[in-house]
Structure 1
Protein backbone atom coordinates (compact mmCIF):
# COMPACT_ATOMS: atom_id res chain seq x y z
CA UNK A 1 0.00 0.00 0.00
CA UNK A 2 1.30 3.44 -0.80
CA UNK A 3 1.44 6.41 1.58
CA UNK A 4 -2.11 7.61 0.73
CA UNK A 5 -3.84 4.91 2.73
CA UNK A 6 -6.74 2.64 1.99
CA UNK A 7 -9.48 5.26 1.70
CA UNK A 8 -7.64 7.44 -0.80
CA UNK A 9 -6.59 4.40 -2.81
CA UNK A 10 -10.22 3.35 -3.13
CA UNK A 11 -11.28 6.87 -4.13
CA UNK A 12 -8.55 7.05 -6.74
CA UNK A 13 -9.56 3.70 -8.20
CA UNK A 14 -13.17 4.90 -8.50
CA UNK A 15 -12.23 8.29 -9.93
CA UNK A 16 -12.94 7.42 -13.55
CA UNK A 17 -15.72 4.91 -13.08
CA UNK A 18 -17.26 5.85 -9.73
CA UNK A 19 -20.41 7.35 -11.18
CA UNK A 20 -21.51 4.02 -12.64
CA UNK A 21 -21.43 2.19 -9.29
CA UNK A 22 -24.59 2.17 -7.20
CA UNK A 23 -24.64 1.79 -3.43
CA UNK A 24 -27.75 1.01 -1.41
CA UNK A 25 -28.14 2.53 2.03
CA UNK A 26 -31.40 1.74 3.80
CA UNK A 27 -32.86 0.61 0.49
CA UNK A 28 -32.08 3.95 -1.17
CA UNK A 29 -29.90 4.11 -4.27
CA UNK A 30 -26.81 6.35 -4.20
CA UNK A 31 -23.85 6.92 -6.46
CA UNK A 32 -20.44 6.57 -4.84
CA UNK A 33 -20.10 10.35 -4.58
CA UNK A 34 -23.54 10.72 -3.02
CA UNK A 35 -22.82 7.97 -0.50
CA UNK A 36 -19.52 9.57 0.53
CA UNK A 37 -21.17 12.99 0.89
CA UNK A 38 -24.00 11.44 2.91
CA UNK A 39 -21.52 9.85 5.30
CA UNK A 40 -19.49 13.06 5.71
CA UNK A 41 -22.65 15.02 6.57
CA UNK A 42 -23.63 12.30 9.03
CA UNK A 43 -20.25 12.58 10.79
CA UNK A 44 -20.62 16.37 10.90
CA UNK A 45 -24.07 16.07 12.47
CA UNK A 46 -22.78 13.68 15.16
CA UNK A 47 -19.78 15.90 15.97
CA UNK A 48 -22.08 18.89 16.46
CA UNK A 49 -24.27 16.78 18.78
CA UNK A 50 -21.24 15.79 20.86
CA UNK A 51 -20.07 19.41 21.10
CA UNK A 52 -23.54 20.59 22.09
CA UNK A 53 -23.85 17.98 24.84
CA UNK A 54 -20.34 18.74 26.06
CA UNK A 55 -21.19 22.41 26.33
CA UNK A 56 -24.37 21.62 28.25
CA UNK A 57 -22.51 19.37 30.69
CA UNK A 58 -19.71 21.88 31.29
CA UNK A 59 -21.99 24.88 31.94
CA UNK A 60 -19.77 27.78 33.04
CA UNK A 61 -16.56 25.78 32.61
CA UNK A 62 -16.96 25.58 28.81
CA UNK A 63 -13.92 26.97 27.00
CA UNK A 64 -14.38 27.56 23.25
CA UNK A 65 -11.44 26.60 21.08
Structure 2
Protein backbone atom coordinates (compact mmCIF):
# COMPACT_ATOMS: atom_id res chain seq x y z
CA UNK A 1 0.00 0.00 0.00
CA UNK A 2 1.46 3.39 -0.97
CA UNK A 3 2.16 5.89 1.77
CA UNK A 4 0.50 9.29 1.35
CA UNK A 5 2.75 12.30 0.97
CA UNK A 6 2.15 16.01 0.74
CA UNK A 7 4.85 18.49 -0.25
CA UNK A 8 4.88 22.28 -0.02
CA UNK A 9 7.56 24.35 -1.76
CA UNK A 10 8.18 27.78 -0.27
CA UNK A 11 10.52 30.57 -1.32
CA UNK A 12 12.41 32.20 1.54
CA UNK A 13 14.98 34.94 2.08
CA UNK A 14 16.94 33.28 4.89
CA UNK A 15 17.35 29.51 4.71
CA UNK A 16 19.00 29.21 8.12
CA UNK A 17 16.25 31.14 9.92
CA UNK A 18 13.47 29.34 8.02
CA UNK A 19 15.03 25.93 8.69
CA UNK A 20 15.38 26.71 12.41
CA UNK A 21 11.74 27.87 12.58
CA UNK A 22 10.35 24.70 11.01
CA UNK A 23 12.64 22.48 13.09
CA UNK A 24 11.10 24.07 16.21
CA UNK A 25 7.74 22.95 14.81
CA UNK A 26 8.97 19.35 14.66
CA UNK A 27 10.32 18.93 11.13
CA UNK A 28 13.81 17.54 10.53
CA UNK A 29 16.28 18.48 7.83
CA UNK A 30 16.54 15.63 5.31
CA UNK A 31 18.58 17.23 2.52
CA UNK A 32 20.62 20.41 2.07
CA UNK A 33 21.63 21.47 -1.43
CA UNK A 34 22.95 24.89 -0.43
CA UNK A 35 20.13 26.98 -1.93
CA UNK A 36 17.41 24.35 -1.47
CA UNK A 37 16.50 22.37 1.64
CA UNK A 38 14.06 19.53 2.25
CA UNK A 39 12.49 18.96 5.67
CA UNK A 40 9.98 16.36 6.79
CA UNK A 41 8.05 15.12 9.81
CA UNK A 42 8.48 11.39 9.14
CA UNK A 43 4.73 10.94 8.59
CA UNK A 44 4.41 12.03 4.97
CA UNK A 45 4.66 15.81 5.26
CA UNK A 46 7.55 17.38 3.36
CA UNK A 47 8.60 21.01 3.16
CA UNK A 48 10.95 22.28 0.49
CA UNK A 49 12.59 25.64 1.16
CA UNK A 50 13.99 27.46 -1.86
CA UNK A 51 16.34 30.41 -1.30
CA UNK A 52 15.10 33.49 -3.13
CA UNK A 53 16.69 36.68 -1.76
CA UNK A 54 14.12 39.04 -3.32
CA UNK A 55 11.09 37.22 -1.91
CA UNK A 56 8.69 39.66 -0.20
CA UNK A 57 8.02 39.09 3.48
CA UNK A 58 4.59 38.72 5.05
CA UNK A 59 2.06 40.19 4.59
CA UNK A 60 3.23 41.02 1.04
CA UNK A 61 4.22 37.45 0.18
CA UNK A 62 1.36 35.47 -1.41
CA UNK A 63 2.99 32.16 -0.44
CA UNK A 64 2.55 30.68 3.01
CA UNK A 65 1.41 27.80 5.15
CA UNK A 66 -1.55 28.13 7.48
TM-score (norm 2): 0.22
More helix by share: 1
More strand by share: 2
TM-score (norm 1): 0.23
